Amino acid sequence: MTRVAVVTGGSRGIGRAVAQRLDRDGLAVVIGYAGNDAAAQEAVASMRQARAVRADVADETAVAALFDLAEREFGGVDVVVNAAGRMTLQPVAELDLDALDRMHRTNIRGTFVVSREAARRLRSGGALINFSTSQTRLLSPAYAGYAASKAAVEALSLVLARELRGRDITVNAVAPGPTATELFLDGKDEATVERIAKLSPMERLGRPEDIAEVVAGLAGAMRWVNGQTIFTNGAAA
């Protein structure tokens, strides 16, 4: 039986690297994406057995339709990776509250909606991997709203792991450090990027593929890792 993964935020960045990594492991992959049709189709074209569905992760009807497609096309859902996210960086005193609401709608409500659907539909032996951030440790200036939203993801993931007792389903969060994606690089000049890269003793930014390797482990053989937040940052935090 082919294992099946649902990957939100799977059209670009870390989400795409995860989807491609799971595809190489032999899983059928259903990508959820917010709005970039061209990027989603490029991602699907790069994989062996994949579909793409436009879905707002905070919309429970759209998320249910994403899981419906996975079940209809491939027979069920075994792995859910919730890589969709939004980041706005401003000091607390200056943070636009509408931007805060949009960020929390995706990062908190979106994670909750996807996790709820995963809890209802994952087959025995399944895995849910949500995304946090190493900023829940670093707590750098301007990251308060973003870090707060991701701290909620860590709490949700541990509680859900405990609620799924007896079903042989793992729930974990992956917390990347600085990673070379559009989301991270946007608005940062070269000097800032170089300074941040030096935070790690590896003296480089993470790559989406670095994060995808950790997700693949949690989605596969790492069955005794459950209810954890895995900081994947090259010791930058």
CB atoms within 10 A of CB 82: 30
CA distances from 29 to 35, 69, 93, 180, 219 (A): 18, 11, 42, 23, 13
The confidence score (pLDDT) of residue 236 equals 82
CB atoms within 10 A of CB 25: 14
pTM of the model: 0.95
Residue by residue, pLDDT tens for the chain (237 residues) are 899 999 999 999 999 999 999 999 999 999 999 989 999 999 999 999 999 999 999 999 999 999 999 999 999 999 999 999 999 999 999 999 999 999 999 999 999 999 999 999 999 999 999 999 999 999 999 999 999 999 999 999 999 999 999 999 999 999 999 998 887 888 788 898 888 888 889 889 989 999 999 999 999 999 999 999 999 999 887
The confidence score (pLDDT) of residue 66 equals 97
- Tell which residue, 213, 229, 220, 233, has the closest CA to residue 17: 213
What amino acid positions are annotated as catalytic residues? 146
The confidence score (pLDDT) of residue 81 equals 98
Q: Which domains does the chain have, with CATH numbers?
A: 4-232 (3.40.50.720)
- Tell which residue, 101, 87, 67, has the closest CA to residue 176: 87
The confidence score (pLDDT) of residue 158 equals 98
- Tell which residue, 85, 76, 62, 65, has the closest CA to residue 27: 76
